[in-house]
A and B are shown apart, each in its own frame.
Chain A
């Protein structure tokens, strides 16, 4: 862990959490401040709250941010993307961005063309027409470009060839996203993820600028990183190429932080916030990845996201007049609207205080009142979410984190043990601070005669990506290699996925 002190910052929808962690992984200081509209300002404030006097002892600062996710959900600050799909005549029946919500498409669509070319499952490559590609680029002023093609996970050479042509011809500063680096099997979902990746470039660029400015303001010279979907780190240059990978970093940081704070590497993690409770899983030290595609702002994608199930249970969740737990939350207004804080809204926090589960605000304001149904509903909803995330009936160890974790019972159904780490309320920031650097690759390959070669190729690709993300090439470990045989093929083919991780260089 580089021997020095590390800072983790997690910018959430409501709060920005920060933690200073020493070489043993112990939390030295921490803070929780309200998230600001300007990314740099909030980061600077959070940093200031945890930094030691001697800035030179800081070796690494890691930032997890929800800015990219919010930009997609709120259709805000997105860049206009030109999409080039290399596939014609195949795939013309479904043009790029078909089925996108109208507003999101209107914000992002910078023109889409399906040009001649494409890779076949049997390895044949249909040639491109360079003039057609140049004509496609002419007259479009999009600075962000997404390039997709069938079977590019098997053979990315054509996407790369087209990217090079586009870069030469477009000139100037363009950012190019190629689908084989962004998504998984399934052309449309991978292309969608690639378009969003390209559209998010400027959003993440602003975060990176704000981050760099905040570090400079505090005189910190340590290497800055952003955290990504699996709770690992990437250098800022890499993050600018892969902004979509920051989208699931919030839950991933919480899951990794919970594991680090308890020393457990295999468990279910329940993160209770103000509005929702997220249930995730840590396996061999990393968040379990969602098995099916992820819907992002109404767009189906297939880049790798942590497998998280959310239910409406949080400190601000309203209690209905019949005493049962509602589904909506007072959100950021908890500190003014809840009964115990002098407001007039009955929230789950009030019910939990009345039930003696936690102390918060002025308990006298709920004296003699009780909402046992609401508290029981919260436990049942969370237990139900936990059960949905399990893969068998056996009880599992659970790590309970997040600002609202005291709302939930220790005797939750389906658990073997329940652990509440000491700094449960800033587990996400701790997760960012202790993160490794990783690389992942997914390829499709024939496995009859050259299976080991194919696996080796996949691992090498993952290593290259880890080094590009900022890992120390000499200290990488293979975390996992997964193989999924493909059905109905005339010869054995598999989808291979490899993940490697190690400390930053």
Chain B
């Protein structure tokens, strides 16, 4: 598959669905990727299995505050700086970029970087969705070292770091975000293709693009068909409660069913992303499974900050990548990590 001007919007729509309400707005990311694709041409999406075992793969993502991201836009050179630093460090060429987080704008930015570098994107990512913390990555669960990590700003400044583990990666990244003025591009959990085959969420890029294409063609049904997801409820948003604590936007969204779902009521608990959907005292879906609130008319995912009373929505749940359902995966990104008392149970059992 190739990502080009023809399917970029599909890819971005799919990233928004996989963003589960978070992961950042895709607006500026799509414009940047479109500009780069128009100038440098399409991006190959490479199957990890087709790369040589020792091919060096660089997972990339943006760190920082969304507010800064919508004011200080990327120069476009950030990916180039990251790749040059990594190549100097390893003494061999980087053969592909990888999307660190497929959900939201972070799933779109690397498309433009790859176009500019003339590198392929591997058909994989680190999450299969969006998560708020940097250690919530499949590579971390699989035991891939966070170090070395590389950071770059829009001016060509670069930093190489050797964090001891994912927690230190997060600390160092947060400090650099402040030093660089609120946002920084990063690459970490660098690995070879042999490692990527077992330590990443495979197929995410083709999945995102297929979701977006199915959404454009068949709406919600298309999304469910591509993801094996479940329609939890169709209805009207009747209450939105928000508060900002500890740097996170927390709250609940209440949806009351209409039509076939009349009389039902689902409350979605949010912390940047949608994490838990409850009907009365019964969970219908819980993190790390994906919960996405879509506009009833357009079927497009609605970001958390744009949910408001009166919207007609469909609440979807999508099974997470298998790695998150392992004991190690649940320790990193299970319900307990987000402070929920409910134990994890797969969507397929809960929403039956």
A186 CB within 8 Å of chain B: yes
Bound-state CA distance A316–B333 (Å) is 56
Closest CB in chain A relative to B152 CB, distance in Å = 12
Q: Which of A134-189 contact B (CB under 8 A)?
A: 150-151, 185-188
Tell which of A124, A186, A493 touches B181, judged by Cβ atoms closer than 8 Å.
A124
B177 CB within 8 Å of chain A: yes
Tell which of B35, B75, B174, B177 touches A90, judged by Cβ atoms closer than 8 Å.
B75
Bound-state CA distance A488–B133 (Å) is 12
| Contact between A90 and B72, CB atoms less than 8 A apart | yes
Q: Contacts A91-B73, A91-B74, A488-B247: A98 and B181 contacting too (C-beta < 8 A)? A: no
B249 CB within 8 Å of chain A: yes
Q: Contacts A99-B34, A291-B308, A488-B64: A188 and B27 contacting too (C-beta < 8 A)? A: yes
Bound-state CA distance A485–B27 (Å) is 22
Q: What would 13 more interface pairs be, CB under 8 Å, given A91-B73, A92-B75? A: A90-B154, A92-B76, A94-B31, A95-B35, A99-B31, A150-B71, A185-B71, A187-B70, A188-B28, A188-B31, A390-B310, A392-B309, A487-B244
Q: Contacts A94-B28, A98-B35, A120-B181: A388 and B310 contacting too (C-beta < 8 A)? A: yes
Residues of chain A at interface, number, CB under 8 A:
41
Bound-state CA distance A487–B242 (Å) is 12
Bound-state CA distance A496–B76 (Å) is 31
Tell which of B72, B177, B311 touches A151, judged by Cβ atoms closer than 8 Å.
B72
Residues of chain B at interface, number, CB under 8 A:
43
Bound-state CA distance A87–B155 (Å) is 11
Residues of chain B contacted by A87 (CB below 8 angstroms):
72-73
B77 CB within 8 Å of chain A: yes
| Contact between A98 and B31, CB atoms less than 8 A apart | yes
Closest CB in chain B relative to A83 CB, distance in Å = 15
Residues of chain A contacted by B311 (CB below 8 angstroms):
388
A490 CB within 8 Å of chain B: yes
Q: Which of B43-80 contact A (CB under 8 A)?
A: 64-68, 70-77
Chain A interface residues toward B at CB < 8 A: 87-95, 98-99, 118, 120-122, 124, 150-151, 185-188, 291-292, 300, 387-393, 444, 485-490, 493, 495
Residues of chain B contacted by A393 (CB below 8 angstroms):
238
Q: Contacts A93-B36, A94-B35, A120-B182: A488 and B73 contacting too (C-beta < 8 A)? A: no
Give 25 CB contacts A-B under 8 Å.
Answer: A87-B73, A88-B75, A89-B156, A91-B75, A91-B154, A92-B76, A92-B77, A93-B35, A93-B74, A94-B35, A99-B30, A120-B72, A122-B181, A122-B182, A186-B71, A187-B72, A188-B28, A188-B73, A291-B308, A300-B27, A487-B65, A487-B67, A487-B248, A488-B65, A495-B67
Bound-state CA distance A99–B306 (Å) is 22
Residues of chain B contacted by A292 (CB below 8 angstroms):
306
| Contact between B247 and A487, CB atoms less than 8 A apart | yes
Bound-state CA distance A435–B97 (Å) is 58
Residues of chain B contacted by A92 (CB below 8 angstroms):
74-77, 154
B126 CB within 8 Å of chain A: no
Chain B 287-318: CB-based contact to A (< 8 A → 1; otherwise 0): 00000000000000000001011110000000
Bound-state CA distance A444–B64 (Å) is 17
Tell which of A187, A388, A389, A487 touches B73, judged by Cβ atoms closer than 8 Å.
A187
Residues of chain A contacted by B75 (CB below 8 angstroms):
88-93
| Most A Cβ at <10 Å: residue of B71, B236, B238, B239 | B71
